[in-house]
């Protein structure tokens, strides 16, 4: 009897264990955990990130998101290392380095066949320039930004200078800067551009540092439009109405431009970005936004950008990752971030219209800037422009910034840049293409 009882007990125990195992198996199969690396900042504070994830998990109980929030430097190091190793890349990540794009999953078909989301909801320029790569959609855009000129209305009123308008010219910029300069108040009129062949250069007709087919810098670096743009820079430096590089290094804010000087009223105008608008608002400064100046007749350009979140091409859970990606980058996630973050500007025009300051002058000025043609439309297919070619010809920039050459030496200086610029282009194109 004891033996029979023992057998029954063993059978029941085995069945119970099997049942438990099978239940565990069902649970393990149904719940997928996605890894997600991100950074946080004013525009995407950690609580808002976690709120988006909580909202997503509430809608998708079988998908968990294991988020790692880290500093930007650590993020770059970890992503570069994981991508170089070809393993350990999270299911979802920011692909903000062009160099990482080959590792992002092509989501073209998913996007085009998903009834919940469409590429049409995104700002066309930002979508095409930032998440389309080699004719594939490799990410979804998030939090757009752009450079524009912010002007301090109180400083303008103080000096009796009319506010700039969207159709102003580079010459207007210098004249206004000179009019705003006030030595008694230790105030400069406007800041200096941060590099050549950005939006301002294009607005002056100097579109590219080298040809579209990436074969030559001759006639581009030293072409008449480029000479005119560099000469304009010479005039601006010579005007004395702008801070020197030394002043900007000391008083500027690393990576974001001289927003502190602007807020302090020591710069009448500054080329800044959306993050600066938020800081300026917080400081209670009365400001306006206009595009960078442009020579009449030229196209209106803007240096704009969007972050891009994508799925790793070797992710084991691409379907679940797509569900999260379209939530995070689609209206549900970006609305939460816009409402809870500080200065999060979604690349979704219908959402931007809901922004709390949407009817203000500065916000309308910002929207106006977003509609300009993006410099990225050329740059994304020409990866050698900055790291290689602009670095190769930086001496011309330095010489003007330091006041080391005369105005009539600009052409000769740029002619001398052709050789190093061409060498840099020839070295880079076979490696990075374009």
Q: What is the contact surface with another protein in residues (CB under 8 A)?
A: 80, 83-84, 99-103, 244-247, 249-250, 387-388, 391-392, 394-395, 398-399, 401-402, 404, 420, 423, 427-428, 431-432
Task: Report angle CA 308, 314, 317 to the nearest 5 degrees.
Answer: 85
* Closer residue to another protein (CB): 243 or 274: 243
Residue carrying structure tokens 């100097």:
206
Closest approach, Cβ 188 to another protein, in A, equals 12
* Closer residue to another protein (CB): 42 or 391: 391
Closest approach, Cβ 277 to another protein, in A, equals 26
Closest approach, Cβ 392 to another protein, in A, equals 8
Residue carrying structure tokens 């607005």:
203
Within 8 A by CB and 6+ apart from 180, the residues are 155, 156, 159, 161, 187, 188, 189, 190, 241, 268, 269
Closest approach, Cβ 394 to another protein, in A, equals 7
Closest approach, Cβ 246 to another protein, in A, equals 4
What Cα–Cα distance (Å) separates residue 294 from each residue in 199, 288, 301? 9, 18, 8
Closest approach, Cβ 397 to another protein, in A, equals 9
Closest approach, Cβ 209 to another protein, in A, equals 15
* Closer residue to another protein (CB): 27 or 250: 250
**422 and 218 Cβ atoms separated by less than 8 Å:** yes
CA distance linking residue 229 with residue 46, whole number of Å: 43
* Closer residue to another protein (CB): 21 or 250: 250
The CA-based dihedral angle spanning residues 316, 322, 328, 334, taken in that order and rounded to the nearest 10 degrees: 160
* Closer residue to another protein (CB): 28 or 85: 85
* Closer residue to another protein (CB): 23 or 402: 402
* Closer residue to another protein (CB): 8 or 313: 313
Closest approach, Cβ 210 to another protein, in A, equals 16
Closest approach, Cβ 135 to another protein, in A, equals 18
What Cα–Cα distance (Å) separates residue 25 from each residue in 22, 30, 315? 5, 9, 21
* Closer residue to another protein (CB): 290 or 400: 400
If phi > 0 it is left, if psi is from -120 to 50 it is alpha, else beta; for residue 324 that is alpha
CA distance linking residue 183 with residue 188, whole number of Å: 8
CA distance linking residue 144 with residue 308, whole number of Å: 10
Q: How many CB atoms lie within 10 A of CB 104?
A: 23
| Number of helical (H) and strand (E) elements in the chain, helices listed first | 21, 13
* Closer residue to another protein (CB): 283 or 432: 432
* Closer residue to another protein (CB): 99 or 300: 99
Instruction: For residue 70, report the phi and psi dihedrals to the nearest 5 degrees.
Output: -140, 170
Residue carrying structure tokens 């998903």:
114
**319 and 62 Cβ atoms separated by less than 8 Å:** no
What Cα–Cα distance (Å) separates residue 257 from each residue in 194, 227, 249, 274, 342? 9, 25, 10, 12, 19
Closest approach, Cβ 85 to another protein, in A, equals 10
Q: What letter would DSSP give residue 415?
A: H
């Amino acid at each position: 009897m004891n033996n029979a009882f023992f057998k029954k007990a063993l059978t029941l125990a085995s069945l119970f264990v099997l049942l438990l195992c099978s239940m565990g198996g069902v649970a393990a199969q149904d719940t997928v955990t996605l890894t997600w690396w991100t950074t946080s900042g004013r525009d995407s504070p950690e609580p808002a990130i976690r709120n988006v994830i909580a909202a997503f998990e509430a809608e998708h109980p079988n998908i968990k998101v294991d988020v790692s929030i880290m500093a930007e430097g650590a993020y770059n190091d970890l992503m570069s290392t994981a991508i170089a190793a070809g393993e350990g890349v999270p299911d979802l990540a920011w692909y903000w380095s062009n160099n990482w794009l080959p590792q992002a999953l092509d989501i073209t078909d998913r996007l085009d066949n998903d009834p919940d989301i469409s590429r049409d909801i995104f700002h066309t320029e930002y979508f095409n320039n930032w998440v389309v790569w080699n004719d594939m959609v490799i990410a979804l855009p998030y939090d757009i930004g752009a450079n524009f000129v912010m002007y301090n209305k109180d400083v303008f009123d103080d000096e009796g200078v009319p506010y700039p308008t969207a159709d102003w010219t580079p010459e207007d910029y210098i004249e206004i800067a000179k009019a705003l300069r006030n030595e008694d108040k230790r105030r400069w009129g406007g800041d200096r551009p941060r590099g050549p062949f950005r939006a301002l250069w294009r607005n002056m007709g100097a579109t590219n540092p080298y040809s579209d087919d990436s074969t030559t810098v001759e006639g581009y670096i030293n072409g008449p439009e480029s000479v005119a743009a560099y000469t304009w820079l010479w005039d601006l430096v010579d005007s004395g109405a702008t801070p020197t590089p030394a002043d900007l290094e000391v008083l500027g804010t690393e990576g974001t431009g001289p927003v502190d000087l602007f807020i302090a009223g020591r710069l009448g105008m500054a080329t800044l970005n959306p993050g600066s608008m938020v800081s300026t608002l917080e400081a209670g400064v009365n400001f306006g936004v206009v595009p960078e100046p442009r020579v009449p007749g030229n196209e209106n350009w803007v240096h704009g950008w969007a972050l891009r979140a994508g799925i790793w091409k070797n992710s084991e859970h691409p379907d679940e990752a797509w569900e999260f990606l379209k939530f995070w980058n689609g209206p549900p996630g970006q609305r939460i971030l816009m409402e809870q973050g500080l200065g999060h500007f979604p690349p979704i025009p219908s959402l931007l219209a809901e922004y709390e300051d949407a009817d203000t002058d500065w916000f309308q000025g910002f929207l106006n800037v977003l509609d300009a043609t993006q410099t990225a439309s050329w740059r994304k297919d020409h990866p050698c422009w900055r790291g290689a070619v602009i670095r190769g010809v930086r001496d011309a920039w330095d010489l003007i910034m330091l006041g080391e050459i005369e105005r009539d030496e600009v052409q000769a200086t740029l002619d001398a840049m052709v050789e190093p610029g061409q060498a840099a282009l020839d070295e880079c194109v076979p490696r990075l293409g374009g």
